[in-house]
Structure 1
Amino acid sequence: MDFQRLTDKLFLQSTVSMLSKLRCVTFDVTGTLIAYKGELGDYYCMAAKSVGLPCPDYKRVHEGFKLAYADMAKKYPCFGYAAKMPNIVWWKTCVSDSFIRAGYDYDEETFEKVFRRIYSTFGSSAPYTIFPDSQEFLRWLRKQGVTVGLVSNAEYRYQDVILPALGLNQDSEWDFGVFSGLEGVEKPDPRIYEIALERAGNLHPEEVLHIGDSMRKDYMPAKSVGMHALLLDRFKTPDAVNWKKSGAPVLPDLLTAQEWVTSVQLNC
């Protein structure tokens, strides 16, 4: 056997596919498995019109919400987990502040009706859509004997209501979830990934792959605890150029992710 053939043989013997080494794959949820449908203003408009009010200005409401959400997330992170704030109170404060910042100061009775409509809408599947490759890929992984976990900066309604309504059910598409509103820790804190490793059965990080859509919240913290990671660029974000330059694997969808996990070779 010539030297090149021997070298090639030794190389093949010393590498295996990533899929054969994986025991768990964890996923970000929004932007990775599901997406928002329409604009925030659409739902605030519908809520206002349901009580006979005119539509709030879309741009002002959007900007008001961004500021209000950032303020609430800073004061009461993880949807008020540490403060033991009820989920509905956290959102009521946030939505009220969103309207006020946008220039709409409704009386208490009117706001209560508007808020109830918004809260119930965002606690349903109505504002979301599932990517067509999500369910198939999750089921495929589980058929390979791979545990599937979700790691999301979301509150309990994602787990209990929204994901099942979209066809992403525990025990058929995923095995466990780590949601910031239920855990009191959120991405990009690496601890949320350590919780995921524990939930998966105290796995070694190198046995787990995380798939998400954020370099800061998904890729970097997952890699920091020793997990494999890849990024999805479903919306052709300009940031993806820099992600690739940094050496991160960046793929357009879960169909190519399936090809990736079966073709990438790891050292034994």
Structure 2
Amino acid sequence: MSMSILSKLRCITVDVTGTLLAYKGELGDYYCMAAKAVGLPCPDYKRMHEGFKAAYTDMAKQYPCFGHAAKMPNIVWWRSCVRDSFIRAGYEYDEEIFEKVFKRIYSSFGSSAPYTLFPDSQPFLRWARKEGLIVGIVSNAEHRYQDVILPALGIYQGSEWDFGVFSGVVGVEKPNPRIYEIALERAGNIAPQETLHIGDSMRKDYIPAKSIGMHAMLLDRFKTSDGENWRKSGAVVLPDLVAARDWLSKEEKVASALV
């Protein structure tokens, strides 16, 4: 008997960054624009990038999930992270100037400006929902992804997705498998074996989803060396969501395609 993989699923969960959308330009572009707007010289891109990486890692360790457990407001978390990024890059501004620069950076990253939606994202999500699947978004992101950024890019709750699990909102982040358990609960307590998670990270998407019994697939949109290693380890790795749709729709003679 032949069955499509799709017919065995009731729910699909999808990661956001690298899966549905990508960053546009470089971090330095946005920090430079904000500095120039208040009459400051453009900070060095490389130093800014390194500074941000270190500052973000530290903040995420100290106050995980964008300060969720500490009940830290989102803007306070980011203010501290951005200030530390500048300091590490060798730039110390006085309070008034910093506040002006920060507000510009914060509003840029809270808008759709720094992101670009992959052209196959919206059609894929709509197709999955039309096929009767419940579609969820699972992301290490704060509430602005849910409330502002995704809608501004044309990805709306109710037309492209049914529920979202965002780390800054629920207080759990990938690779903690608990975030996937929360997704199954939100989907209506759907069994893990009836759910497929699609992401772009072996560590944050594939391994934790599989660990609770979900099916998982990885996208390698930029043909990385990681993609090759993922394939060798036995993961289903596809180039984009068009290929994912084809893979889900094809008839399988064997029932082991998703095992």
**Paired residue for 1:247?**
234
Find the aligned partners of 1:144 and 1:264 in 2 and give their Cα distance: 15
Q: Structure 1, residues 42-97: CA drift from partner, whole Å, max 9, x if none? A: 00000000000010000000000000000000000000000000000000000000
**Paired residue for 2:185?**
198
Aligned with residue 200 of structure 2, among 213, 231, 247? 213
Deviation at 1:21, TM superposition (A): 1.1
**Paired residue for 2:122?**
135
Question: Which residue identity is paired with 1:158?
Answer: Y
Whose Rg is larger? 1
Q: Structure 1, residues 196-218: CA drift from partner, whole Å, max 9, x if none? A: 00001101101000000000000
Question: Which residue identity is paired with 2:243?
Answer: T
Q: How many residues align?
A: 255
Aligned with residue 189 of structure 1, among 164, 168, 176? 176
Deviation at 1:239, TM superposition (A): 0.8
Question: Which residue identity is paired with 1:52?
Answer: G
**Paired residue for 1:56?**
43
Q: Structure 1, residues 112-150: CA drift from partner, whole Å, max 9, x if none? A: 000000000000000000000000010001000001000
**Paired residue for 1:9?**
none
What SS class does the counterpart of residue 137 from structure 2 fall into?
A: strand
Find the aligned partners of 1:74 and 1:254 in 2 and give their Cα distance: 32
Give the 5 Å matches for 1:1-268.
12=1, 16-263=3-250, 265=252, 267=255
**What's the TM-score, normalizing by structure 1?**
0.94
Find the aligned partners of 2:8 and 2:169 in 1 and give their Cα distance: 30
Deviation at 1:16, TM superposition (A): 2.5
What SS class does the counterpart of residue 39 from structure 2 fall into?
A: coil
Deviation at 1:41, TM superposition (A): 0.2
Q: Structure 1, residues 157-194: CA drift from partner, whole Å, max 9, x if none? A: 00000000000000000000000000000000000000
Find the aligned partners of 2:66 and 2:32 in 1 and give their Cα distance: 24
Deviation at 1:99, TM superposition (A): 0.1
Find the aligned partners of 2:248 and 2:205 in 1 and give their Cα distance: 18
**Aligned alpha-carbon RMSD (Å):** 1.0
Find the aligned partners of 1:64 and 1:75 in 2 and give their Cα distance: 17
Q: Structure 2 vs 1, CA of residues 209 and 62 (structure 1 numbering), >3 Å: closer, same or farther?
A: same
Deviation at 1:264, TM superposition (A): 6.0
Question: Which residue identity is paired with 2:87?
Answer: I
Q: Structure 2 vs 1, CA of residues 180 and 264 (structure 1 numbering), >3 Å: closer, same or farther?
A: farther
Percent identity over the alignment is 77
**What's the TM-score, normalizing by structure 2?**
0.97
Runs (5+) with no aligned partner, structure 2: none
Question: Which residue identity is paired with 2:111?
Answer: S
Find the aligned partners of 1:83 and 1:19 in 2 and give their Cα distance: 41
Q: Structure 1, residues 7-28: CA drift from partner, whole Å, max 9, x if none? A: xxxxx2xx53210011110000
Deviation at 1:237, TM superposition (A): 1.5
Find the aligned partners of 1:263 and 1:153 in 2 and give their Cα distance: 31
4+ residue stretches of structure 1 with deviation over 6 A?
none
Deviation at 1:267, TM superposition (A): 2.4
